[in-house]
Every structure is written in C-alpha cells, then in structure tokens.
Amino acid sequence: MDSFNTKAVHGEKLLKSFQSKVTPIYQTSVFSFNSLEEMEGYYSGNSPYLYTRVGNPNADELAAVTARLEGAPAGVAASSGLGAIMAAVLAVAKSGDHLVAARDVYGGTFYMLKEELARMGIKTSFVDFEDERAIEAAIRPETVILYTESVTNPFLRVENLEQMASFAKKHDLVLIVDNTFATPYLVQPYAFGADIVVHSATKYIGGHSDVSAGVLCGKEKYVEAARSRIVNIGLNLSPFESWLACRGAKTLGLRMERQSANAKKTAEWLKTQPKVKDVFYPLSLSEKGNGAIVTIHLADDADESGFFRSLGWIQIVPSLAGVETTVSWPFGTSHRSLSPEEKEAVGVSKKTVRLSIGIEEAEDIIGQLKQALENA
C-alpha cells in the first residue's frame, strides 16, 4: 500500500478494544466483516450490527437509557417524536382498524392521526378523555388503540393514567401514552399500565434544542413490531443525533428539577397579572414537580403582537424544552393545521401563549415577561 491515494483512503484503523469513558459516535452507514461466515453470523444472531438503518450502537444506547428511565423492558429510537408515534401505532394497527384518541393532543399528532393514518385506512375518533362515557361511545369493534398524553399540549391537562390503563384493559385495547412533557423524571406511564410510551426526545431528553429524535418503549412484543416498522419504513435515527440525545439524557433530572421549580414560580406570578386572563399549570403531577411548561391566555384587551415583540432575550420558537426560556404561539405553529372549529374545541386562540421555562434565574424570567406584558 505505497500509493498516496490508497494510503489516504485506508489510513490506520485503530484497535476496537479501547475502553472509552463515553460511548463513541459510530458514524458509519455499514459495519464490516472479516469473512462471509462472519457476515452470515449477523443473521443468526452472533453479531449485533450490519447496517445503520437496521441498528446502530448509539441509537440502541438512547433506546436503552429511555426504557430504563421509564421502567420498561425494551425500547427503540426513531428519527423524530412523530416517527416514534407512527411506529408505535403501526406496531398495533393495520388498515381497517380504529383508534380512540384524546381530543387535546399535540397538533402535529392530531393531524397525523386524522389525515396521514386515514390515508392508510386507519381511522381515529377524537373525544374528551375526561368523559369516560364519551370514550366508551367512541369504541367500535375494530378499535385497537387508546391514545393520549400524560400531560397534554398545550393546556397541560394531567391524564388519569391508572384509569386509562384500566379502561384499555377492560376493552382489550393497547394504551399508547406520549410522555414528552412530563418526562420519566416526573411520571412513568408504563408503571401505571401503559403498553407503549412515546417521546419526542427532541424536547426534554435531548434537552438542548440541537437534535431531532424520538423514542418509544414498552412491552417487548410491541417494541419489536415497532422496530420492524422503523427499519423497513426508514424511520431510524442517525448515530450523531442519537449520541447528542444520550448526552442530554444524562442531565434530564437536574434540568427538570430546576425548570419545574422555575415554572412554578413563574406560573404563580402570572396569576397576579391583569394582562393574563388564564394560567394553565398542573398542581399535582408529581412529588418531584409539575413540569416546565406554563400556558396562558392573554387578556382580551391585550395586544399579542406587542407581547411577542417585547420579550427581550426570551426567544419566540415553534418548539420547547431547551435550557433557555422560550415562548411559542400554538395558534400559528403547533396547532396551525387544525380547522377554526377544531382550535375552538380544544381552546387554542390567538391569545394563547405557551411558555417553556428554562434554567435561568426565575426572577430574570419573570422580569422579561413583565416587560412583555407591559407592552401587550
């Protein structure tokens, strides 16, 4: 191997036996073998990796840590939160099947269930999950899934997970719970009886607004079915984004403790402000805290444009959960795809503001919001 180009391409591969303190980034699309027999060993279970779409150590680490935090036996990573939700649903439902979902789920989930799954022949009925009779009335012979969120987006209704699990079991339904807002630090839906728990790891698991990722975990038979969908549809997560999300997960508890404490102080202050009509913040989500999201309705006479223009260092974004405090406008972002009637049904208006509280000093967050409300 004397030529320059050959030496440049093949370089000097390091031994694979070094014990790195942090999992390396396996930034490779494929894994190599020393013989045809060794490659054949992959298919008989002697080797774990072949092709990154099928499996990668970084994605597996993210799935494993999330499953461990949720107290679930298995997990699998996906390219986004919606990717994880899609894989979870398709692990259970097929064309001709039916879901019953909470009406107040995240707008992107609402659209996917209503429109995209309908194209596949899977129909969804959206009902008020605080009314068990409404859920009961929505069930059909072809219903296979009950779908909800542990804390709903954006109005932070805390789901009665134990009741939902009991209801799902009674009707032989698979319970899927999106635990993105609560995170396993505050709530573990699997312990309450959920069959599948999904996360947009883009949010609190990643925690730093620098990754797009999803994870689902739960009963092994559903996770393995979801893994098959992820592999064969191409919903896999890249090695680098998996690595970033794993790094973020290490500080999940620390961040949620701080952000929840800040959110509680901010919510209490907002309740005293004349330019704020309503404040939505859970009061009894967990002994560890009530989450880092606060949603408000500005007063009827408040100017929402003036509020958003006067936020200073608080950025306007279409998402949530970074270490920085941000705000979003659900009417024009997360719930934009809903019809006016659907927005009204879930309570989203032009006066709705969702605040994602960060790790700054609570007094500084309140100071910026005070400035914005004075200009609203």
Q: Answer yes or no: 203 catalytic.
A: yes
Structure tokens, 224: 């393995």
Quick one: 304 exposed, middle or buried, by C-beta within 10 A (0-12, 13-18, 19+)? middle
Strand partners, 295: 280, 354
Strand pairing class (326-328; 315-316):
parallel
Q: Active-site residue 106, yes or no?
A: yes
CA proximity to 334, closest of 183, 184, 112, 145: 112
Which of 178, 195, 258, 354 does the annotation list as catalytic? Answer: 178
User: Buried b / exposed e across 28-53, counting CB within 10 Å, b at 16+?
Assistant: eeebeeeeeeeeeebeeeeeeeeebb
- Sign of the C-alpha dihedral computed for residues 85, 152, 186 and 263 taken in this order: positive
Catalytic residue selected from 157, 203, 227, 258: 203
> Exactly one of 42, 51, 53, 303 is catalytic; which is it?
53
Q: Which residue numbers are catalytic?
A: 53, 106, 178, 203
